């Protein structure tokens, strides 16, 4: 309750300050408050950070926490614990682990489809993905993929499931209702993450140094996005996370070893800005007001916040060891 009160105050403050900052240089803009949870692969924890970049809580969660997604409500995150072969539900308000799904071999990445309550998890070492009912923890189905499945996504209507297999260079397509395989999409080297827009499938090819865009219905490639920030060579572009901004036509791509984030215009596919961040930029999170982009830097063990109005980084702070995934809440 007190926390809520505080947040409201912060929002008011943000509103009153907005006018002032528009006139000023546009740096240090006070945006709406948020809390983010970051999983740290090596230190085995989830940290809570606030909109000022301060770590407010460190929760030891499990061994090698990697993929993370939002759960049923605003208080839950679901975390893949890769070395413990399990998935946990962590409550950020009570700061406690609420539930566990066990025997999830090599849990790597996950996504939650709220309308059906299905949790989809990739099982990195065993060339498959598995589907669970998040509420009961009941196992529903197993999907055969290529070697090293990583990114997994389901369309909003729940009809199609996509799984990227890093080693195989394939995205497998499954029927979201029957879980039957429908199609296989060939990608460039090491497809990592998948982002879905209304009719497009964006796949980051980490070793192919590009983002490939496919039509979700025909599964044909529509376009490729190639990156070239100043001072880096083509093979240093090792993109991982892709994020769409729901409020405009922007997509954000973390360029890994090229230590930049690219802002891509989703209409023209032009790269409108490169922003220098930390080393091996890979995980991305967007604040609920879509004004702040948070980038996890996997080699420098920190995160960078970017003000999307000014398109400049505002701060970089220590994360845990090997920050992997981030979810941002109001």
Partner 1 sequence: MSVVRLLITLFAGFISHASAATFHAVIVTASGAESGARGHSFAGIQTRVERPVQRGVELALFESTTSFEAYGIVPKLMIIDLNDQQPIDTQLAQIPTDALVILDLPKPEFIQVATALNALERTTINVRHPDTDLRDQICLPSLYHTIPSERMYFDALGQFLIYRGWRKVLVVHGPSERDKERTAILEKSLKKFGAEISDIRQYTLSHHPDDRDKNKPEFLTGGASYDVVAVIDSDKDFGRYIQYSTRRARPVVGDVGLTPVGWHRTLERYGAPQLNERYQRFDQSNPLPPSEAMSDAEFAAWSAIKLITNSLSVAGINAQSLSPRQILEHPDTQVDLYKGTRGSIRNWNHQLRQPILLATSEAVIAVAPMPKFLHPKHYVDTLGFDKPESPCQLN
- Nearer Cβ to partner 1 (92/280): 280
- Nearer Cβ to partner 1 (71/106): 106
Two structure tokens written together for 14? 């943000």
Smallest distance, partner 1 to C-beta of residue 52, A: 29
- Nearer Cβ to partner 1 (50/126): 126
Smallest distance, partner 1 to C-beta of residue 150, A: 9
Smallest distance, partner 1 to C-beta of residue 236, A: 5
Neighbouring residues of 313: CB distance < 8 A, sequence distance ≥ 6:
275, 276, 277, 304, 305, 306, 307
- Nearer Cβ to partner 1 (129/308): 129
Q: Which single residue is written with the structure tokens 């970051």?
A: 38
Interface residues with partner 1 (CB under 8 A)? 42, 124-125, 146-148, 165-170, 175, 180-184, 186, 189-190, 207-209, 232-233, 235-236, 238, 257, 280, 298-299
Smallest distance, partner 1 to C-beta of residue 323, A: 13
Judged by DSSP in three states, 12 sits in helix
The DSSP string of 260-298 is EEEEEETTT--EEEEEE-SSSEEEEEE-TTS-EEEEEET
Judged by DSSP in three states, 10 sits in helix
Smallest distance, partner 1 to C-beta of residue 168, A: 5
Smallest distance, partner 1 to C-beta of residue 330, A: 34
The DSSP string of 154-168 is E-TTS-EEEEEETTT
Q: How many residues does the chain have?
A: 330
What's 83's DSSP letter?
A: G
- Nearer Cβ to partner 1 (76/259): 259
What's 235's DSSP letter?
A: G
Alpha carbons 236 and 64: distance in angstroms, whole number: 26
Of 183, 140, 188, 147, the residue nearest 162 (C-alpha): 183
H/E element, 22: helix 2-23
User: Residue 52: CA atoms inside 13 Å, Cβ hemisphere, count?
Assistant: 6
CB 36 within 8 A of CB 328: yes
- Nearer Cβ to partner 1 (257/283): 257
Helices vs. strands in the chain: H and E counts, helices first:
1, 28
Alpha carbons 257 and 269: distance in angstroms, whole number: 22
- Nearer Cβ to partner 1 (217/270): 217
- Nearer Cβ to partner 1 (15/177): 177
Smallest distance, partner 1 to C-beta of residue 279, A: 8
Q: Which single residue is written with the structure tokens 């490729």?
A: 224
Smallest distance, partner 1 to C-beta of residue 261, A: 18
């Amino acid at each position: 309750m007190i926390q809520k009160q505080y947040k409201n105050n912060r929002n008011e403050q943000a509103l009153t300050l907005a006018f002032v900052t528009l006139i000023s240089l546009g740096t240090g803009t006070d945006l709406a408050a948020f809390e983010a949870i970051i999983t740290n692969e090596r230190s085995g924890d989830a940290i809570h950070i606030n909109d000022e970049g301060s770590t407010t809580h460190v929760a030891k969660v499990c061994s090698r926490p990697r993929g993370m997604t939002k759960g049923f409500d605003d208080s839950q995150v679901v975390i893949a614990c890769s070395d413990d072969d399990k998935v946990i539900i962590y409550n950020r308000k009570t700061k406690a682990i609420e539930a566990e799904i066990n025997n999830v071999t090599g849990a790597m990445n996950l996504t939650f489809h709220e309308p059906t309550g299905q949790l989809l998890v990739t099982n990195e070492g065993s060339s498959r993905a598995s589907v669970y009912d998040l509420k009961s923890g009941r196992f529903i189905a197993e999907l055969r993929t290529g070697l090293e499945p990583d990114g997994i996504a389901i369309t909003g209507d729940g009809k199609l499931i996509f799984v990227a297999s890093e080693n195989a260079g394939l995205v497998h397509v499954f029927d979201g209702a029957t879980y039957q395989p429908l199609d296989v999409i060939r990608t460039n080297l090491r497809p990592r993450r998948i982002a879905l827009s209304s009719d497009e499938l964006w796949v980051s090819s980490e070793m192919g140094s590009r983002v490939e865009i496919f039509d979700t219905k025909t599964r044909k490639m529509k376009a490729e996005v190639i990156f070239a920030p100043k001072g880096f060579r083509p093979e240093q572009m090792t993109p991982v996370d892709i994020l769409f901004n729901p409020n405009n036509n922007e997509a954000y791509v973390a360029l890994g070893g090229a230590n930049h984030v690219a802002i891509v215009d989703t209409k023209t596919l032009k790269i409108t800005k490169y922003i220098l961040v930390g080393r091996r930029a890979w995980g991305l999170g967007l604040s609920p007001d879509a004004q702040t982009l948070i980038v996890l830097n996997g080699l420098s063990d920190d995160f960078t916040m970017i003000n999307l109005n000014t398109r400049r980084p505002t701060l970089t702070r220590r994360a845990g060891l090997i920050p992997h995934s981030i979810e941002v809440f109001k």
